[in-house]
């Protein structure tokens, strides 16, 4: 709950309590109570923005004004304490109970659907961000009926910003209405539930000056999961950038929640056959082509950025990639097929794609992160179709850690815990049994340690020191 929201609700609950139980409630006191509540509501609206989850609290502001108006209309000339009759006990109990229920709703709604915040990154750098709209003229768009369509991608780049950089932090979602509709379609839930995303702010400053602390920074590509989006892992991206990485997030058009292009055109998610392993293996080739194209464009920026921000500032000799779910599979395929990618992390992605991990291992630095729920044994489910799916895909993991690579299996973890999604509501955490902030810190600590070693040549601080079983995870090294 945001600061003014909290203050506003506390003031209004105290105001209702005063109205119910105070013996002397003068007309002047009612006006003062209304005025204080209205001023705080106005400040909340201007500074934080009003939202529907606060409607019960907003309505409480009108209570003292309504009582004032009723009294004025009845033309009671005597002091309130001399004319007011004591409320019958049964009526007082009923009114009090209703007030408690109403106040509970007023508190619960903004808590269940909060305007969540991202933890402050721990690194020494501030964060800048910029977006690009890139068209791949060499590739046809296969997910639209028009044969003339070319593959177009929205890209967001986060980078270490100058310590003196100032400006308003960037919104998490740039087009709230579009993404609320997108989330609604993808998750099959009412659109109004997702309007809170429009109020969430990040720690990144749009178009900030790049930091001169280092001559150049390693580059990481990020690929989201099916129906995700390029900034769905802001919790992780900002942490990495704050420690000296440039992160390039890719929206895989028509497979993302939504893509909003520079001319305002919207490309919504197109349902695909995500139950077919053969289809997903083939579809992954398109995602790999997206990543290769984006890396080509990044190389051009590094060589000659028209805005002169990234020219010479991207360390293209130290490029890594990480992704969630289908994007994790894309990261593994990129590691195997693109020599520019030196190290990769797959976060809970089934190993879809053209290539399989060979028996001798990848021979390049790789780390697999899995939720214990994802890699459970096929015999643990009564769903025959899902059991068959596990039996067919689980063997693909067999050699992921061979050759000195890593496989981290996180306990009490679910698939979507590797993204920002569970921050949306504490109900998600309760239903899924995931301590999401704790899980995010674990992911951040080990993904940073992995990239710091292989792209910055720094000694390990965690990975090598924690091989084996632990309360929160098991870490295997091949």
Q: What is the pLDDT of residues 207-233, one digit of tens each?
A: 999 999 999 999 999 999 999 999 999
Residue 297's nearest CA partner among 99, 151, 466, 454 is 151
**Residue labelled with tokens 């949306």:** 424
Instruction: Identify the CATH number of the domain defined by range 126-477.
Output: 3.40.50.1820
The strand pairing partners of 347, in sequence order, are 324, 369
Neighbours of 388 (CB within 10 A): 12
Q: What is the pLDDT of residues 429-452, one digit of tens each?
A: 888 999 999 999 999 999 999 999
Neighbours of 176 (CB within 10 A): 17
* Burial 306-343, CB ≥16 within 10 A → b, else e: eeebbeebbbeebbbbbbbbbbbbbbbbbbbebebbbb
Helix (H) or strand (E) holding 366: strand 366-371
CA dihedral 312, 317, 318, 324 (to 10 degrees): 100
pLDDT band at residue 21, thresholds of 50, 70 and 90?
Answer: confident
d(CA 385, CA 376): 15
Give domain limits for the chain.
Answer: 3-112, 126-477
Residue 55's nearest CA partner among 109, 7, 15 is 109
pLDDT at 85: 59
Whole-prediction pTM = 0.91
Q: What is the pLDDT of residues 453-478, one digit of tens each?
A: 999 999 999 999 999 999 999 999 99
Q: What is the pLDDT of residues 336-369, one digit of tens each?
A: 999 999 999 999 999 999 999 999 999 999 999 9
Residues 6+ apart with CB under 8 A from 91: none
pLDDT at 429: 86
Q: Which burial class, exposed, middle or buried, applies to 367 when counting CB atoms under 10 A from its CB (0-12, 13-18, 19+)?
A: buried
Residue 80's nearest CA partner among 149, 119, 28 is 28
Structure tokens at 4: 């003014």
Structure tokens at 282: 């083939």
Residue 297, pLDDT > 70, answer yes
d(CA 219, CA 224): 17
């Amino acid at each position: 709950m945001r600061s003014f929201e909290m203050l506003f609700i506390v003031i209004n609950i105290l105001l209702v309590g005063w109205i119910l139980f105070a013996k002397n409630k003068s007309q002047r006191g009612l006006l003062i109570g209304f005025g204080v509540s209205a001023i705080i509501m106005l400040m909340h609206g201007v500074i934080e923005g009003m939202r529907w989850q606060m409607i019960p609290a907003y309505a409480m502001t009108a209570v003292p004004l309504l009582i004032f108006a009723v009294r004025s209309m009845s033309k009671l000339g005597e002091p309130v304490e001399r004319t007011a009759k004591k409320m019958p006990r049964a009526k007082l109990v009923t009114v009090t109970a209703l007030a408690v229920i109403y106040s509970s709703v007023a508190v619960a709604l903004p808590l269940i659907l909060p305007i969540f915040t991202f933890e402050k990154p721990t690194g020494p750098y501030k964060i800048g961000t910029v977006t690009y709209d890139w068209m791949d003229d060499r590739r046809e768009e296969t997910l639209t009926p028009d044969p003339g369509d070319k593959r177009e991608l929205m890209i967001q780049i986060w980078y270490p910003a100058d310590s003196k950089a100032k400006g308003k932090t960037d919104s998490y979602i740039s087009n709230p209405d579009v993404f609320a509709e997108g989330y609604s379609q993808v998750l099959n839930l009412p659109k109004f539930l997702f309007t809170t995303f429009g109020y969430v702010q990040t720690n990144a400053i749009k178009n900030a000056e790049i930091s001169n602390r280092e001559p150049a920074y390693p580059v990481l590509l990020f690929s989201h999961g099916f129906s995700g989006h390029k900034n769905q892992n802001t919790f992780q991206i900002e942490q990495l950038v704050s420690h000296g990485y440039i992160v390039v997030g890719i929206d895989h058009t028509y497979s993302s929640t939504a893509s909003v292009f520079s001319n305002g055109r919207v490309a919504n998610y197109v349902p695909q056959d995500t139950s077919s392993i053969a289809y997903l293996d083939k579809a992954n080739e398109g995602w790999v082509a997206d990543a290769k194209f984006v890396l080509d464009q990044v190389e051009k920026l590094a060589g000659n950025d028209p805005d002169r921000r990234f020219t010479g500032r991207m360390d293209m000799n130290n490029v890594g990639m990480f992704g969630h779910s289908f994007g994790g599979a894309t990261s593994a395929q990129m590691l195997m097929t693109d020599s520019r990618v030196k190290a990769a992390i797959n976060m809970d992605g089934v190993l879809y794609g053209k290539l399989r991990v060979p028996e001798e291992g990848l021979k390049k630095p790789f780390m697999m992160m899995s939720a214990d729920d994802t890699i459970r044994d096929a015999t643990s489910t009564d769903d025959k179709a899902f059991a068959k799916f596990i039996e067919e895909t689980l063997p693909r993991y067999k050699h992921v850690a061979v050759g000195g690579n890593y496989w981290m299996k996180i306990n009490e973890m679910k698939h979507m815990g590797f993204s920002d999604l569970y921050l949306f509501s504490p109900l998600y955490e309760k239903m899924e049994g995931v301590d999401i902030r704790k899980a995010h810190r674990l992911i951040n600590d080990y993904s940073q340690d992995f990239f710091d070693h292989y792209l910055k040549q720094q000694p390990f601080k965690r990975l090598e020191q924690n091989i084996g079983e632990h309360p929160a995870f098991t870490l295997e090294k091949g």
